[in-house]
Structure 1
């Protein structure tokens, strides 16, 4: 009986570790995407001529990054949130 319990405990511990690794990876991705979004906003503020020439591309990339962040956080991003 004790061996069964030890095996179950080890399996439960492995599952907890896997979940923790998954959460840490998700948080790292969110952090990197938020940094990318800040970089995009910085380029927009520093070089408005560039963003004027490439307005659609910058908007689409920015929106895509926002959607990715929201998705990783488990949120829904509506068109109004852009």
Structure 2
């Protein structure tokens, strides 16, 4: 339930147009340096996190995770410690 509430919170901020500070991707995770995180990149970086967590992180359901989505997930503890 916490994961759902967290995802809804992020979606709410995005929908409200809350500005997100431009950030660079983490090169250790974004291995192809395209500025976004694919599911395979995230699974390599966080192998113990179940697939449904990756789905919930992608709050805009575009098939990728951007810097804001990943940062929010990390800060919310969705990816472990």
Q: Do the structures match in fold with TM over 0.5?
A: no
User: Which of the pair has the greater relative contact order for Cα pairs under 8 Å at 6+ separation?
Assistant: 2
Instruction: Give the alignment's TM-score, normalised by structure 2.
Output: 0.30
Structure exhibiting the larger radius of gyration computed from Cα positions: 1
More helix by share: 1
